[in-house]
């Protein structure tokens, strides 16, 4: 996928102005390039591994910057190659000049995720840990970062290994009879295989089911606020955010374009989207806003449909809300005279966007809609956060289900072993033990340049 014989360089810190910026090199010429361009302030300083030195970077006779530099000898580095880092002043012009300087001397600009890719190739981490590096950098909530740390620490890999060992044990039972075909498989062994297969299926099913929570944890949730004009949609947005983000007015059609902002709902990063009021109108600009609002229904994870509890409501919802889409009906203005309660086939929450009464109940109901019938996992529990992992586990579960059906039908051992071998192959690709170039390309292309 990449030429790993090259020495690569990239900024390891975000581009922009700051106190310090770090540039990282990895590859066989890292030490040579550092010695070529960096001069320690103390000439007697040797380039000892993991020893941070103060000095200057020069381009010929021209001073580039006063920096700190460190060399890390293989295999005791992130990539398990020779690595060098330059800690310079965090000015983007200085960073670009240092990049150009090393590139002109033979280094190559790293591709996205190439440092992590080299670590993976050199045995520094398995594929689930490599993906956790990206997940940690991109985590959008505290709980998302905690989950990425668990996976980076190897807990997901350990679970996959535990499940794989179950399958290997079953395969050994089957192949013991394949090696001695004159021996008939005993009923006790068939029973053992069925029990082990059922336990393995339950194990991997629980792990796959955790993706419902893990996906929301990693990607965040999109919450769409819909409803007729003057129901209190913008007031609800402001109440959930905790500050005045949207203009609130009694004039219908005040919100014409969508307004979005983020807040934290339980363990999730949530994106709130306020939209134009749904109504019949001849205003061409308002019509555009209404079309945009309806267009966002499909991409949302949860819809908050707001109605005015002091006005008549015919208990009908827009026809373009798909069946099964998580939805809460917010019966707003419970603080006002004439407020009426009502029942519907969807959950209804009485609420006051003006006073905030019912806010905690609303948030609890929002979480219930997103995770129906399920408690939030313990923060230290490992869950599936990547679609790639989820799809792999679905294949494993399908193979185990087919295995159990074959056992009940008395299928011969060599056909049983095919299901187990296929499941083990998929698990090996999940952890990267067996490398698929297409999978690796997709995984590491999602990384930032300096990782």
Indicate the annotated binding residues for K(+).
Answer: 230, 249, 251, 254
Which residue, chain included where needed, has tokens 């009694």? 250
d(CA 445, CA 451): 11
d(CA 172, CA 177): 9
Tokens of 310: 């002091």
Of 192, 209, 14, 5, which Cα lies nearest the Cα of 107?
Answer: 5
DSSP for 375-428, please give it: PPPPTTS-----HHHHHHHHHHHHHHHHHHHHHHTT--HHHHHHHHHHHHHHHH
Contact 34, 23 (CB under 8 A): no
Cα-Cα-Cα-Cα dihedral sign, residues 166, 436, 387, 137: positive
Strands 83-90 and 327-332, by their bridges, are unpaired
Sheet strands (E) in 292-390: 302-308, 327-332, 348-350
Binding site listing for Mg(2+): 234, 255
Tokens of 159: 């679970």
Of 350, 142, 362, which Cα lies nearest the Cα of 240?
Answer: 362
Task: List strands edge to edge, sheet with 18-26.
Answer: 38-40, 53-59, 62-72, 83-90, 18-26, 8-11, 108-109
Binding site listing for GTP: 230-235, 249-255, 274-277
Contact 221, 212 (CB under 8 A): no
Tokens of 285: 């600009």
d(CA 108, CA 129): 25
Binding site listing: 230-235, 249-255, 274-277
Asked if the peptide bond before residue 100 counts as cis, ω within 30 degrees of 0, the response is no
Contact 110, 8 (CB under 8 A): yes
């Amino acid at each position: 996928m990449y030429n790993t014989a090259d020495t690569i360089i990239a900024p390891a810190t975000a581009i922009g102005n700051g106190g310090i910026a770090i540039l990282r090199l990895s590859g066989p010429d890292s030490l040579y390039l550092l010695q070529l361009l960096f001069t320690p302030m103390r000439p007697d300083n040797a380039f000892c591994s993991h020893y941070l030195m103060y000095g200057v970077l020069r381009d010929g006779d021209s001073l580039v910057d006063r920096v700190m530099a460190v060399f890390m000898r293989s295999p005791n580095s992130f990539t398990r190659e020779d690595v060098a880092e330059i800690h310079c002043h965090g000015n983007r012009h200085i960073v670009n000049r240092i990049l150009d300087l090393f590139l002109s001397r033979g280094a190559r600009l790293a591709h996205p995720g190439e440092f992590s890719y080299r670590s993976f190739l050199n045995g520094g981490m398995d594929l689930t840990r490599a993906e956790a590096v990206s997940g940690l950098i991109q985590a959008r909530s505290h709980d998302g970062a905690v989950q990425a740390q668990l996976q980076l620490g190897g807990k997901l890999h350990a679970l996959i290994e535990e499940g794989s060992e179950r399958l290997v044990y079953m395969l050994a039972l089957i192949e013991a009879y394949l090696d001695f075909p004159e021996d008939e498989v005993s009923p006790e062994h068939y029973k053992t295989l069925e029990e082990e297969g059922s336990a393995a299926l339950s194990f991997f099913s629980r792990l796959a089911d955790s993706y419902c929570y893990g996906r929301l944890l990693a990607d965040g949730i999109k919450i769409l606020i819909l409803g007729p004009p003057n129901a209190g949609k913008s007031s609800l947005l402001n109440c959930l955010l905790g500050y005045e983000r949207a203009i609130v007015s009694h004039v219908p059609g005040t919100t014409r374009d969508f307004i979005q902002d983020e807040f934290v709902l339980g363990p999730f990063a949530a994106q709130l989207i306020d939209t134009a009021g749904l109504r019949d109108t001849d205003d061409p600009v308002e019509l555009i806003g209404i079309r945009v609002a309806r267009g966002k229904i499909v991409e949302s994870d949860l819809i908050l449909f707001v109605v005015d509890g002091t006005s008549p409501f015919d208990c009908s919802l827009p026809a373009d809300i798909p069946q099964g889409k998580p939805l809460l009906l917010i019966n707003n203005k419970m603080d006002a005279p004439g407020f009426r309660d009502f029942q519907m086939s969807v959950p209804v929450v009485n609420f006051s966007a003006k006073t905030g009464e019912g806010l905690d109940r609303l948030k609890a109901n929002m979480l219930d809609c997103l995770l129906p019938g399920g408690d939030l996992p313990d923060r230290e529990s490992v869950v599936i956060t990547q679609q790639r992992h989820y799809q792999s586990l679905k294949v494993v579960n399908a193979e185990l289900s087919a295995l159990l059906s074959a056992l009940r039908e008395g299928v011969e051992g060599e056909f049983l072993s095919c299901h187990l071998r296929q499941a083990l192959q998929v698990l090996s690709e999940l952890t990267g033990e067996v490398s698929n170039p297409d999978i690796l390309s997709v995984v590491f292309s999602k990384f930032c340049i300096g990782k």
